[in-house]
Amino acid sequence: MRKALTISAIGHAVLILWGMIAFVVRPLEANTSESLPVDIISDSEFSQITAGVKTAKKAETPKPLVEKLGEQKPVEELTKIEKKPAIQTASAEPMPIPPEPKKPDPKPQQAKAEPEKKPEPEKKAEPEKVKPAEAKPAEAPPPDPIAEAMKKAEEQRKKDEQKRKAEEQKKKLEEQKRRAEEQKRKQEQQRNAFDPSKIAALLDKQSPRREAATGDTLNQTASLGLPTGRAATLTQSEIDALRAQIQACWNPPAGAVDARELIVRVRLQLRQDGSLQADPTLMNRGGHPAFQIAAEAAMRAIRRCQPYRLPIAKYDVWKDVEVTFDPRDMFRG
Amino acid sequence: MPEAAGVSADLSIFTLFWQAHWVVKLVMTGLLACSVWVWAIAIEKFLLLQRTRSAMNKFEQAFWSGQSLEELYRSLASRPNHSMAALFVAAMREWKRSFEGSSRSFAGLQMRIEKVMDVTIAREVERLERRLLVLATVGSASPFVGLFGTVWGIMNSFQSIAASKNTSLAVVAPGIAEALFATAIGLVAAIPATIFYNKFSSEVNKQASRLEGFADEFSAILSRQIDERA
């Protein structure tokens, strides 16, 4: 027995020692995933989203991106512009050229400046001369040559400066030209490089150009919102308004077992005065025994509540809409 | 000590043990002792059963070889014997005593021999079975003991967590790991104990039935002899 006990004890000791060495705890390497900022917004808040960029800062008073005054147009994906810089510069390419005819411009300006500035000191000098002449007629002539010299020096300096400026301008223009050429060349290189994904862009010369977002006031910086957002300001959207009006007349099928089966989608075509243009059409079918009843209830609600009072200015938005009648959460646009 | 193995050495086996509550420590040491004892018993039983089996084989070979029983008895009686040999020696001694004494008493000889053999079988089986119950006990009880240590440790660590008012995983984890260590030791002790118990108890049963079979055969032989001489 003693022998067995010793063997067992030794075995355990060895096992524990091995465990001490082998069981080194390695910390789990958790991959820190990028955190996503999540805002919880309600349905109506979502419908009131302003046009903008998803990544923009949240402004106190959100303004839609507007680059041109005029009729409102929804902003397209703003990020798209950055993706196609080449074509944008292509349309902008003529822009640097107009300065070229201006090139002689600085010189005439300089020339103009010279005659302008020449008489000026004289004019200035005259009243100066007159005043001291009254007080000290004798002393008046001596400062004259010095003043003249100083004026001349000043003029010379001005001229030099102007010349320098002109030269600088010229240089700038040249640089601009060079840059434009470089861009052109790059563009051409890009164009030459075969990229199958850009074939569509090459075929449709018009598509890469982005239409300027128009609105009431100019605003160059996009505010927080969605590219497809339509609300200019935070007002209840047209769909919300329509929804609220239909809901008033709707008797949802109460007590149905499978409410999920009773979702009814109806398409409405409205006239400008808010009345139905045609009978509402049912967009889905359901196998539920109560589905027909639910569909009828929805149709009834739509017919009963017309005409709908909706902003005529946004007729495009609510001219042809699909409304979902969901008994679970009453309604969804 | 492997504690010097950096930050993570915080949770090495030794520190796990050392930081535990004293009740948990007690449970752990007890379970470790149980494990040592279980393995000692297992080793001992393994050797004993092997030895017994080979001795039985050897004796049976000698017994059925046609050698005279007197001679076999003489060669075996001088040294201590186990199992089948002991059974044979005990029966032969009783036989001899009945014959070599002045008064020949055949009347109850058969019964006496059977009694003697029964006693010997019982003694031998007891010898084979000794400490097997420990294995059974450890096998069934040590998981519970380990669980007790774990429950106690978790209870304790939850109290500490409540006191520190911090629920981050880094605070909770070491206490729980420490507590679970007790269950681990309990299972480490219990699993081999259960396996060994099952194996050895079936082995002991086999050997006991073999002894009984031999006893029956031998008593039949002796009974024939008694009838012939009477």
Per-residue pLDDT of chain A (333 residues; tens, 9 = 90+): 788 899 999 999 998 889 888 877 677 777 767 777 777 777 777 766 666 666 666 666 666 666 777 665 555 555 555 444 454 444 444 444 444 444 444 444 444 444 444 444 444 444 444 444 444 444 445 556 777 778 888 888 888 888 888 888 888 898 888 888 888 887 777 666 666 666 666 565 555 555 566 666 666 666 666 665 555 444 556 677 777 788 777 777 666 666 677 788 888 888 888 888 888 888 888 777 778 888 888 888 888 877 887 777 777 777 788 888 777 765 444
**DSSP string covering A26-77, please?**
PPP----PPPPP-----HHHHHTPBBSBTTS---SS----BSEESS------
Interchain contact, A8 vs B36, CB within 8 Å: yes
Residue B176 has a pLDDT of 85
If you measure CA to CA, which chain B residue comes closest to A7?
B40
Using DSSP's 3-state secondary structure scheme, residue A97 falls into: coil
Using DSSP's 3-state secondary structure scheme, residue A231 falls into: strand
If you measure CA to CA, which chain B residue comes closest to A9?
B36
The pLDDT of B184-213, averaged and rounded, is 94
Distance CA A246, CA A248 (A): 5
**Dihedral angle at the C-alpha atoms of A157, A158, A161, A167, nearest 10 degrees?**
-120
Domain locations in chain A as residue ranges: 39-76+211-229, 99-203, 238-325
Which residue has 């024939």 as its token pair?
A: B224
Residue B197 has a pLDDT of 95
Distance CA A330, CA A251 (A): 9
Residue A71 has a pLDDT of 63
Interchain contact, B5 vs A24, CB within 8 Å: yes
Residue A236 has a pLDDT of 54
Strands A214-215, A68-69: pairing kind: parallel
Residue A127 has a pLDDT of 47
More confident position, B160 or A136: B160
User: Any CB–CB contact under 8 A between A11 and chain B?
Assistant: yes
Give A30's contacts in chain B (Cβ within 8 Å).
none
Residue B210 has a pLDDT of 92
The CATH number assigned to the domain with range A238-325 reads 3.30.1150.10
Distance CA B132, CA B126 (A): 10
Of B8, B12, B40, the CB nearest to A8: B40
User: Any CB–CB contact under 8 A between A1 and chain B?
Assistant: yes
Of A8, A16, A26, the CB nearest to B43: A8
Of A3, A12, A25, the CB nearest to B35: A12
- Indicate the angle between helix axes A85-92 and A143-192, nearest 10 degrees: 130
Query: pLDDT digit string (tens) for B20-39?
Result: 888 889 999 999 999 999 99
Interchain contact, B40 vs A16, CB within 8 Å: no
pLDDT band of B162, cuts 50, 70, 90: confident
Give A14's contacts in chain B (Cβ within 8 Å).
none
User: Any CB–CB contact under 8 A between A30 and chain B?
Assistant: no
How far off is chain A from B127, nearest CA to CA, in Å?
13
Distance CA A229, CA A227 (A): 6
HEC secondary structure over chain B? CHHHCCHHHHHCHHHHHHCCCHHHHHHHHHHHHHHHHHHHHHHHHHHHHHHHHHHHHHHHHHHCCCCCHHHHHHHHHCCCCCHHHHHHHHHHHHHHHHHHCCCCCCCCHHHHHHHHHHHHHHHHHHHHHCCHHHHHHHHHHHHHHHHHHHHHHHHHHHHHHHHHCCCCHHHHHHHHHHHHHHHHHHHHHHHHHHHHHHHHHHHHHHHHHHHHHHHHHHHHHHHHHHHHHC
Distance CA B24, CA B228 (A): 71
User: Any CB–CB contact under 8 A between B230 and chain A?
Assistant: no
**Residue to substitute from A18, A25, A28, A29, interface B, most B β-carbons within 10 A:** A25
Query: Please, are residues A269 and A277 in contact by the beta-carbon 8 Å criterion?
Result: yes
Give B43's contacts in chain A (Cβ within 8 Å).
3-4, 7-8
Query: pLDDT digit string (tens) for B88-143?
Result: 998 888 888 877 766 666 778 888 889 999 999 999 999 999 899 999 999 999 99
ipTM confidence: 0.76
Q: Residue B201 corresponds to which amino acid?
A: S
Residue A115 has a pLDDT of 47
Residue B79 has a pLDDT of 79
Domain locations in chain B as residue ranges: 18-60+72-229
